Amino acid sequence: MTETPKQKRKLSRRDFLVLTGVAGGLYFGVTLGVLPFARLKLAEYLDEAGGPPMTVDAVPLAWFEIGTDNLVKIYIPKVEMGQGIHTTLAQAAADELDVPWEDVSVLNVGTGKGLDDPVGTSASNSTSSLFPVLRQAGATVREMLRFEGAKLLGLAAESVSAENGFVTATQDAGKKVSYGEIVGAVKEWVVPEKLPALKKSTDFKYIGKAMPRVDLLDKVLGKTQFGFDVRVENMAYGAVATPPRLGAMIKSASAGEAATMPGVIKVVIEDDFVGVVAERREQAWAALSAVQIEWSEVKVWEQAEIEALVQVGNGRGVTVQTEGDAEGHLRGSVLEAEYYTPMVFHAHMEPQSAAADVRAESATVWASTQSPVSVRGAVAKAIGLEAEQVTAIPTFLGGGFGQKINNIPAVQAARLSKAAGQAVHLGYRRTEDFQNGYIRPPSRSVLRAAVNKNGLIEAIEHKQASGQVAFPFFPVFVSKVMGADFGAYRGAQIRYGVPHKRVDAWLADLPFKTGWWRGLGMLANLFAIESFMDELAVSVGMDPFLFRLANLPLDELGGRMKKVLEATREKSGWDTPAPEGRARGMALAMDVGTLVGCVAEVSVKNKEIRVHKLTGVVDAGMFVNPNGAASQMEGGMNMALSSALFEETQVKNGALSPTNFGAYKFLNNSASPEIVVELLESGDEPLGMGEPPLGPVAPAVANAVFALTGQRLRRLPLKLA
């Protein structure tokens, strides 16, 4: 599949909004003109994922404030959940503004401040979408400061420069005025007709450098406010009943003893909702278990029934990719294999949480959310206010991984607050967190291919089935129009250079909520495709590295894939023998334009798979913060390894199981391998880094296990027979 060349839209002066503050200071917003840009970005993403274009009601994407004290505040609508975006975006703005690093801070703001971001913080798009915008905004403000600074110095604009927070006479370094002094003095600003050029990469001070994270001092001191930490005036604590079985609804409920239990402020019983508000969290929990609830009788689902629902050819299907005539070339002797990936929880360390203060005419919601705009809308609807009457304030997130796109706890907190007439904090216990959300759906892939004796794939077919991923978050008509779910088939396309290829996807209707999980369908699909590539290589007796190399497409993407593969081979010592008792496996992933190559080095003891080392090579265009990118690689590869080795959610006795950490095992420190990372640049624009590192790990491990034991494991988590 060839990459569509990226259209670049240049910002113009009409994209900017300038205001002066009452007490001096310059406020500079990147405004409406950004809308087409945001749309373009979204369209690009949906295009890659195969989704529909959608209407975006977006307004300013970023907002600066330069104070008379020289301090620069950058407000952005993207939340920090560990990906380091506050830092990378500060680097973009500070570099072009040319201000000292210490003078910059980044804040994210709630809705209603002109920063309503329709996309939310997802799809690894934060850096790639805002980076060019913030650079242009920074460069423009710097030019305006230079112009006004020259006037204040009584000099021509050509004879001053703007650097490091000062406008200085080129001939006389002693003659200077600080940015703060300039914004204090100037009342009327003019945005230049022709926007200034951006810095050359050789002039970068912060971009491309390992700048320290802006949020870490607060984090090591315990000062950062996560959603679970929100405390507001006169706040009580809530608890909400969770159905004991999938699909169960409240038939009837009575407060019983709960109403008179210690600390109880209100027992809330509504049609579809039962909760308690109390002075303390533990009191709310105790009272909730005393409320008598009769749940509707429902079918008691078991795991085997769920897996049977996820079948290629079952339910609604759609063709995702087709070139040539795959079917016609897949007659006779072909290789076929089937792969399965299970449901998993997100298990973000901070359970979902929100606080709400609902008044007669307005409401404020603080939420650990990836999407404040959708929180605002959902809360408004639930409590009968207009969206404009609701302010949604995102906090720092203790991990999100896609789960925190949902509005469930925010809506529940608002309902409790409305009923109790005071502010309420709702923080899920882990068991509630596991039951209340959209988990990663199960997925099945069936691949078939014909390979000639030179090791070239002549035809390949990928049939994929999965539960919903993106549909729950779109209007119903989208799912009707689209057929299968574009989130589920993210990563399902065949990127190799094969003349005949076809990819089809089917959507399974499941009796529980499934949705976004870091990378959406990417991990599942790449596990299947990249394991299958290994099987094909083995079938013709070729080295898996050389086999991939032989089957690259002959375009720009193929060139990048080749570089990544070669670097992966080099860095991992692919051509040298693995240490005694170990073997290596390789895989290559592409996601949101980013390429990641991976080699896993494994051993097996008592049927237990041990991964000693993961080598990851990533080409993400350019790296705004190489240390941050390395950190995303380490964390993302570890999270994928956790999926590969340990994680599985099952349906047991009609409910999701297990119900807490421990029984739900995920990667711990001693299981974390040595991780070696290499960053490869291939351009001057950053691509996504949040999700792509998850792509190649599971197949690399499975391929290594095959090389070591001869057992081909086609199901996650990997377990030896």
Residue 216 makes contact with ligand FES by CB under 6 A:
no
Of these partners, ligand FES, another protein, none, which one is at the site of residue 25 (CB under 5 to 8 Å by kind)?
Answer: none
Nearest-approach distance from CB 662 to ligand FES, in angstroms: 9
Nearest-approach distance from CB 578 to another protein, in angstroms: 20
**Alpha helix segments (H runs only) across 280-388:** 281-290, 303-309, 372-383
Nearest residue to the partner ligand FES, using Cβ: 349
Nearest-approach distance from CB 79 to another protein, in angstroms: 10
In this structure, are residues 8 and 198 in contact, taking their beta carbons and an 8 Å threshold?
A: no
Angle CA 210–566–501, to nearest 5: 110
Nearest-approach distance from CB 349 to ligand FES, in angstroms: 4
Exposed/middle/buried for residue 276 (C-beta within 10 Å: 0-12, 13-18, 19+): buried
- How many residues bind ligand FES, per CB under 6 A? 3
Buried-state track 5-24, b at ≥16 Cβ within 10 A, e below 16? eeeeeebeeebbbbeeeeeb
**How is residue 360 annotated by DSSP?**
S
Nearest-approach distance from CB 380 to ligand FES, in angstroms: 31
Nearest-approach distance from CB 638 to ligand FES, in angstroms: 10
Structure token pair of residue 31? 């405004």
Residue 690 makes contact with ligand FES by CB under 6 A:
no
Question: Cβ closer to ligand FES: 399 or 673?
Answer: 399
CA 398, CA 350: separation in Å to the nearest integer?
Answer: 5
Question: Cβ closer to another protein: 235 or 298?
Answer: 235
Buried-state track 412-438, b at ≥16 Cβ within 10 A, e below 16? bbbbbbbbbebbbbbbbebebbbbbbb
Question: Cβ closer to ligand FES: 165 or 351?
Answer: 351
Task: For 645-699, list the strands marked E by DSSP.
Answer: 650-652, 655-657, 674-680
Q: Which DSSP string do the residues of 239-306 spell out, in sequence order?
A: EE---SSTT--EEEEE-GGGGGSTTEEEEEEETTEEEEEESSHHHHHHHHHHSEEEEPP-----HHHH
**How is residue 329 annotated by DSSP?**
G
Nearest-approach distance from CB 705 to ligand FES, in angstroms: 28
Question: Cβ closer to ligand FES: 342 or 399?
Answer: 399
Residue 82 makes contact with ligand FES by CB under 6 A:
yes
Nearest-approach distance from CB 242 to ligand FES, in angstroms: 19
Angle between helix axes 408-420 and 372-383 (nearest 10 degrees) is 40
Strands 363-367 and 390-394: parallel
CA 48, CA 688: separation in Å to the nearest integer?
Answer: 13
Give residue 16's identity as a one-letter amino acid code.
Answer: F
Of these partners, ligand FES, another protein, none, which one is at the site of residue 441 (CB under 5 to 8 Å by kind)?
Answer: none
Residue 679: φ, ψ to 5°: -105, 130
Of these partners, ligand FES, another protein, none, which one is at the site of residue 45 (CB under 5 to 8 Å by kind)?
Answer: none
| Contact pattern for ligand FES over residues 162 through 191, marking x by CB under 6 A | ------------------------------
Question: Cβ closer to ligand FES: 107 or 349?
Answer: 349
CA 610, CA 597: separation in Å to the nearest integer?
Answer: 20
Which one of residues 19, 217, 349, 481 is an interface residue with ligand FES (CB under 6 A)? 349
Structure token pair of residue 51? 């989704």
Question: Cβ closer to another protein: 120 or 455?
Answer: 120
3-state secondary structure 213-253: CCCHHHHHHCCCCEHHHCCCCCEEEEEECCCCCCCCCEEEE
In this structure, are residues 59 and 26 in contact, taking their beta carbons and an 8 Å threshold?
A: no
Of these partners, ligand FES, another protein, none, which one is at the site of residue 308 (CB under 5 to 8 Å by kind)?
Answer: none
Nearest-approach distance from CB 635 to ligand FES, in angstroms: 8
In this structure, are residues 72 and 48 in contact, taking their beta carbons and an 8 Å threshold?
A: no
Question: Cβ closer to ligand FES: 398 or 455?
Answer: 398
Nearest-approach distance from CB 401 to another protein, in angstroms: 8
Of these partners, another protein, ligand FES, none, which one is at the site of residue 234 (CB under 5 to 8 Å by kind)?
Answer: none
Nearest-approach distance from CB 122 to ligand FES, in angstroms: 17
Q: Which DSSP string do the residues of 479-530 spell out, in sequence order?
A: HHHH-S-TTTTTT-S--S--SEEEEEEEE---SS-B---TTTTHHHHHHHHH
Question: Cβ closer to another protein: 12 or 661?
Answer: 661
531 vs 338, 339, 448, 684, CA distance in Å? Answer: 10, 9, 12, 32
Question: Cβ closer to ligand FES: 215 or 566?
Answer: 215
Task: Determine which helix (DSSP H) or strand (DSSP E) holds 432, and give its type and residue range.
Answer: helix 430-435
- Contacts with another protein, residue ranges (CB under 8 A): 80-84, 210, 212-213, 215-217, 219-226, 228-229, 231, 237, 280-282, 347-351, 396-401, 427, 429-430, 627-628, 631, 634-639, 641-642, 660-662, 666-670, 672, 674-675
Question: Cβ closer to another protein: 280 or 480?
Answer: 280
Of these partners, ligand FES, another protein, none, which one is at the site of residue 166 (CB under 5 to 8 Å by kind)?
Answer: none
Nearest-approach distance from CB 123 to ligand FES, in angstroms: 20
Question: Cβ closer to ligand FES: 30 or 85?
Answer: 85
Nearest-approach distance from CB 656 to another protein, in angstroms: 16
Question: Cβ closer to ligand FES: 399 or 519?
Answer: 399
Of these partners, ligand FES, another protein, none, which one is at the site of residue 254 (CB under 5 to 8 Å by kind)?
Answer: none
CA 606, CA 703: separation in Å to the nearest integer?
Answer: 19
Of these partners, another protein, ligand FES, none, which one is at the site of residue 72 (CB under 5 to 8 Å by kind)?
Answer: none
Question: Cβ closer to ligand FES: 631 or 709?
Answer: 631
Of these partners, another protein, ligand FES, none, which one is at the site of residue 229 (CB under 5 to 8 Å by kind)?
Answer: another protein
Question: Cβ closer to ligand FES: 404 or 495?
Answer: 404
Nearest-approach distance from CB 366 to another protein, in angstroms: 13
Nearest-approach distance from CB 433 to ligand FES, in angstroms: 12
Exposed/middle/buried for residue 671 (C-beta within 10 Å: 0-12, 13-18, 19+): middle
Question: Cβ closer to another protein: 437 or 544?
Answer: 437
CA 492, CA 462: separation in Å to the nearest integer?
Answer: 7
Rounded (10°) CA dihedral 47, 52, 58, 62: -20
Residues in region 390-409 near ligand FES by CB under 6 A: 399
Owner of token pair 């000099």: 155
Chain positions contacting ligand FES, by CB under 6 A: 82, 349, 399
